Chains A and B, each alone.
Chain A
Amino acid sequence: MNSPISTAARLSQWMPRLVLAPSFILAMFFIYGLIAWNGYLSLSASRLLPNYTFVGVEQYINLWESERWWVALKNLAIFGGLFLFFGMAIGLLLAILLDQKIRAEGVLRTVYLYPMALSFIVTGTAWKWILNPGLGIERVVQGLGFPDFTFDWLINPDRAIYTIVIAGVWQSAGFVMALFLAGLRGIDDSILKAAQIDGASLPRIYWRIIIPSLRPVFFSTLMVLSHLAIKSFDLVMALTAGGPGFATDLPATFMYTMAFSRGQIGLGAASATIMLATVAAIVVPYLYSELRSKR
């Protein structure tokens, strides 16, 4: 009964599993295994080197008592809030304007979106020069006839976080535009024509019909942006390196500093676990609903 055909057929049946298995095993180890490992590190006495002596939640207590961690969280709130708001607002505005049958749409779209092709390190380096107190924008405005104008946000501990917002929005607004534009192009024309025939004005059509129907796009864009905000690391490193002092620390830079340059591995691991919990709280319900709704 063991004809070559049935062997081939049986192999064919198992092939998909065999092919997917290595990736799945790697994912299980390198995602969940390492997450668990990191979790254990966060409960250990590790400092400069991993030290697997169990100390319970001591690192978490240290973390929440650390002033620097609170600064990082406060910065994430400021940066995240403004980055989301301006990123969404500018992106949506540009998408709606570009949807008005603009002749040069292709060129403008390319211009708005190119920052997304750059590394955040490039963006940060460029903006650091533009915002340079002394030779940057300050000099330009002074040259326009405002000799007393000063612009020192980059080195002002109370203002530096806003420079990160500026550079972040500059980099990401075009991305939001692309997402919304794709959403706008997916809207059924007949509804809009009907509204126009009924005499609804254009702003009204947008406000009442188009924007509400973009709700799924809003949702996924918000997801993507908040995820970008929580992970933000490169931009801060290039623009302010977390400074002045640690005035522009974000959780990601806090984790990096503690784990890789301050010899506080346990503390770094604890902050990484908090970041994971935050992201998971946003992403897991999203993934769940996305995958369910597709059945």
Chain B
Amino acid sequence: MSAPVPVTTTVSAAARPRASAQTGPVSAPKWHRFALWSVLFLFALFFLTPMYVMLTTSLKDMAQIREGNLLSLPTSPNFDAWAKAWSSACTGIDCGGLRPFFMNSVLMVIPAVLVSSAIGAVNGYVLSKWRFRGSELMFALMLFGMFMPLQVVLLPMSQVLGWMGIASSIWGLVLVHILAGLPSTTLFFRNYYVGLPDELIKAAMLDGAGFWRIFWRIVVPLSTPIIVVTLIWQFTNIWNDFLFGVVFSGGASKPVTVGLNNLANTSSAVKEYNVDMAAAMIAALPTLFVYIVAGKYFVRGLTAGAVKG
């Protein structure tokens, strides 16, 4: 997905309901409300239908798929397709299902998310509370990395990874994801820390606290919301990445998105759509789960700073 985040200002003001909103109609006629609800409901259907189709198809067997249609409910729902997608479906020539790919993604996403977020936090702290001559320019130069089309670094990057001896390995992917994540994690933390009052820092300095002591004792304890936003943002982006996965991974290090794409595009005598959909659900579940339990923070990441003021 990797949507770039627009640059300006704070993360906090995202989708909070307006305190005393009066834009809504004060006493709109009944049919007005009815039309409003119909439109909203139809769009909800539009957004939910693909998920419904994915889920129901994954619970059918091929006979039901051939007899019924997209929207029909499974007559005898079962998880056979899920089991097959997980451990025995064919992706190209090997038939070990999605499990090894899923595990690769887990091994890749944990270090990449933690390291890129940690470095971003420290960078953001410097760029907001310890500015020096040229630090804003440095920030702007780093920020461009968030916007450039990644295609422009793919070819040289694969050579660099080769020299470092981590081409086609999970560690190569981890490194690339850390580098690619730094501009946005730095931006997130910087914009959040700009909102912390400078007096806090100054008071601590007068008390003799130094750079790191202030960071650990004062700034980090105040950072919980932005840490959650950043972790979720990085997790979603890295888990969902396909471009780096397809370019930089080798036989044994492909992430789950690459596995899913190979699985769905493997041509076999009988195309098993139920297995494809089960595999898609498996690849989607981790980020979907995070979205459902912590959607608020995910939305904050998405809208971070997009709106001025």
Q: Tell whether A and B belong to one assembly.
A: yes
- Which residues does A use to contact B, with CB under 8 Å? 8, 11-12, 15-17, 19-20, 23-24, 26-28, 30-35, 37-38, 41, 50, 90, 93-94, 97-102, 105, 108-130, 132, 135-137, 139-140, 143, 170-171, 174-175, 178-179, 181-187, 189, 192-193, 196, 202, 205, 210, 216-217, 220-221, 223-224, 227-228, 230-231, 233-234, 237-238, 241, 251-252, 255-256, 259-260, 265, 268-269, 271-273, 275-276, 279-280, 283-284, 286-287, 290-291, 294
22 sample A-B contacts, Cβ–Cβ < 8 Å, listed by A number: A16-B132, A23-B182, A26-B179, A30-B179, A34-B152, A117-B290, A120-B1, A125-B260, A130-B49, A135-B69, A139-B69, A175-B3, A185-B15, A193-B22, A220-B307, A227-B4, A256-B246, A259-B155, A276-B151, A287-B143, A290-B8, A291-B136
Q: Does B230 contact A (CB under 8 A)?
A: no
How far is A230 from B119 in the complex, measured between Cα atoms in Å? 29
Query: Which chain B positions have C-beta within 8 A of A224?
Result: 3-6, 306
Whether the pair A100, B69 counts as a contact (CB closer than 8 A) is no
Whether the pair A234, B44 counts as a contact (CB closer than 8 A) is no
Whether the pair B138, A24 counts as a contact (CB closer than 8 A) is yes
State which of B50-58, B73-81, B164-172, B217-225 sits at the interface with chain A.
B50-58
Please tell me which one of the listed residues B25, B65, B239, B302 contacts residue A175 in the complex, with CB atoms under 8 A apart.
Answer: B302
Whether the pair A276, B6 counts as a contact (CB closer than 8 A) is no
Q: Does B106 contact A (CB under 8 A)?
A: no
Given contacts A23-B182, A224-B3, contact A140 B303 (CB under 8 A): no
How far is A130 from B23 in the complex, measured between Cα atoms in Å? 39
Q: Does B71 contact A (CB under 8 A)?
A: yes
How far is A166 from B297 in the complex, measured between Cα atoms in Å? 27
Whether the pair A101, B21 counts as a contact (CB closer than 8 A) is yes
How far is A217 from B182 in the complex, measured between Cα atoms in Å? 25
Please tell me which one of the listed residues A205, A279, A283, A294 contacts residue B23 in the complex, with CB atoms under 8 A apart.
Answer: A205
Distance in Å from the Cβ of B125 to the closest Cβ of chain A? 8
The 9 closest A-B pairs by CB, nearest first: A119-B240, A16-B130, A117-B291, A37-B156, A101-B24, A234-B242, A220-B6, A15-B211, A34-B153
Distance in Å from the Cβ of A123 to the closest Cβ of chain B? 8
Q: Does B268 contact A (CB under 8 A)?
A: no
Please tell me which one of the listed residues A178, A256, A283 contacts residue B302 in the complex, with CB atoms under 8 A apart.
Answer: A178
Query: Which chain B positions have C-beta within 8 A of A33?
Result: 156
How far is A94 from B41 in the complex, measured between Cα atoms in Å? 11
Distance in Å from the Cβ of B275 to the closest Cβ of chain A? 11
Distance in Å from the Cβ of A52 to the closest Cβ of chain B? 11
How far is A51 from B186 in the complex, measured between Cα atoms in Å? 36
Contact with A along B102-141 (1 / 0, CB 8 A): 0000000000000000010011001100111001101011
Distance in Å from the Cβ of B204 to the closest Cβ of chain A? 12
Please tell me which one of the listed residues A99, A128, A256 contacts residue B21 in the complex, with CB atoms under 8 A apart.
Answer: A99
Query: Which chain B positions have C-beta within 8 A of A128?
Result: 264
Please tell me which one of the listed residues A125, A178, A233, A234 contacts residue B276 in the complex, with CB atoms under 8 A apart.
Answer: A125
Q: Does B261 contact A (CB under 8 A)?
A: yes
How far is A255 from B243 in the complex, measured between Cα atoms in Å? 12
Taking A90-B43, A129-B54, A287-B140 as given, write out 17 further A-B residue pairs in contact, using a Cβ cutoff of 8 Å, ordered by the A residue number: A20-B123, A27-B141, A34-B156, A34-B160, A38-B153, A109-B299, A114-B291, A117-B290, A122-B280, A122-B283, A140-B69, A186-B309, A192-B22, A196-B22, A224-B3, A268-B155, A273-B152
Whether the pair A50, B159 counts as a contact (CB closer than 8 A) is yes
How far is A113 from B142 in the complex, measured between Cα atoms in Å? 29
Whether the pair B242, A179 counts as a contact (CB closer than 8 A) is no
Question: Which of A27, A93, A272 has most B Cβ within 10 Å?
Answer: A27
Distance in Å from the Cβ of B112 to the closest Cβ of chain A? 15
* Residues of chain B in range 19-75 having any CB-CB distance to chain A below 8 Å: 20-26, 28, 36-37, 39-40, 43-44, 46-51, 53-54, 57, 65-66, 69-71
